[in-house]
Amino acid sequence: MSSLNLDDFTDLIERPDGGVRRDAEAHRERRIVPPGSLGRLDDLGEWLAAAQSSVPVRPVERPRVVLFAGDHGIAELDVSARAAGTAAGLVREVLDGGRPVSVLARRLGVPVRVVDMALDCDPESLPEDVVRHRVRRGSGRIDIEDALTPEEAEAAFRAGMAVADEEADSGTDLVVLGDVSVGGTTAAGVLVAALCGTDASVVTGRGGRAIDDLAWMRKCAAIRDALRRARPVLGDQLQLLATVGGADLTAMTGFLLQAAVRKLPVVLDGVVTAACALVAQRVAFRAPDWWLAAHDSGEPGQAKALDRMALEPVLSHGIRVGEGTGGLLALPLVQAAAALAAELPEEGAGESAEPDVSAEPGVAAGPDVSVGPEGLAGRE
């Protein structure tokens, strides 16, 4: 019998401080720039202030990129532009500094953490700190079998929770969450379609490396078949993740919920993180208040999930590469919003006081413009 009760998250997760958000809004009204003139930056600053429970908002000084990695058996059906079982190569490129997220993280000075949950490779081929949470080698082919056993699903979920605790305890003040996977967008599409009650074609995108029409049709068929297996377990979110999710997606869901418990704000990257967030919202309806949607990737499943959670993307650049890249691009905007909210002075602040004309009796504070018997005097 599992001791993991997801219903506990409903009580453990609180909304960000509404009073602090109102204080942040009031502070915005008093600033020297007209209300609304900074557009979305005002909203970002107020979201962060509420998450931090601090007015003025504190700067984001210790952000971290956290990437959960895994291979998905469904990739065997050629639903991805990458060959099945090759996510480990992507992870090595991230670690070696050769992926887009690596370049951006290096430029921004943000550390990147990769967590292997189900890569299809020898664990000894990767660093110990990457593989120590691994649950299994590759997740099952979700159109015909479960992605995980119940025990593996619980282990993956707890691993995600543990990573969230580790980040919160280490002083991380904001997480950019992403995935490194092959076949992950197919599993994400199944979750979104199941939870939103839509057909496979509505949520099927073309992935990080745009697939051709034949691959797209194979992907639609795979999502359709997996969706038949997902619908009977919609009432149990952990069972849903075990059936059609995978170890990396299950861990991300646990991470998102525990991060909300720990009041750690999270920036969501693409369709995979959006799908996990949608599952987490089903578990605890207050949790999305702790998340920020970084960008619109153009993936229909992501758009569907974000709309269901009422999360509006900050950027819209059509970035489909995943790996936290789009999330990391949004980070400077969040940091800029925090700086503006904290450092812009209020209206009237710093202005000099009115001159004191009565400081010394008989001595005028400015030019003598008094009118005497000889008319205006004292003017040059």
pLDDT digits over 324-379, tens only?
999 999 999 999 999 998 888 877 655 544 444 444 444 444 444 343 434 433 33
pLDDT tens, per residue, the chain with 380 residues: 467 999 999 999 999 988 888 887 777 777 777 777 788 898 999 999 999 998 888 999 999 999 999 999 999 999 988 999 999 999 999 999 999 999 999 999 999 999 999 999 999 999 999 999 999 999 999 999 999 999 999 999 999 999 999 999 999 999 999 999 999 999 999 999 999 999 999 999 887 667 889 999 999 999 999 999 999 999 999 999 999 999 999 999 999 999 999 999 999 999 999 999 999 999 999 999 999 999 999 899 999 999 999 999 999 888 888 899 999 999 999 999 999 988 888 776 555 444 444 444 444 444 443 434 344 333 33
Among 76, 323, 343, 374, the one annotated catalytic: 323
3-state secondary structure of 102: helix
Sequence-distant (≥ 6) Cβ neighbours of residue 275 within 8 angstroms: 187, 188, 189, 191, 192, 249, 301, 302, 305
What class has domain 61-335? Answer: alpha beta
Instruction: Output the pLDDT for position 56.
Output: 87
End-to-end Cα, the chain, rounded Å: 97
Sequence-distant (≥ 6) Cβ neighbours of residue 91 within 8 angstroms: 69, 114, 116, 119, 126, 130, 180
Instruction: Output the pLDDT for position 12.
Output: 96
**Residue 14 is among the residues annotated as catalytic for this protein:** no
For residue 318, what are the CA distances in angstroms to 81, 152, 161, 296? 18, 34, 30, 6
- C-alpha 153/C-alpha 209 separation (Å) is 28
Look up the pTM and report it: 0.88
> Domain locations in the chain?
61-335
Instruction: Output the pLDDT for position 231.
Output: 96
Orientation angle between helical segments 247-261 and 271-283, nearest 10 degrees: 60
Dihedral angle, C-alpha 79, 85, 88, 89, nearest 10 °: -70
Instruction: Output the pLDDT for position 348.
Output: 67
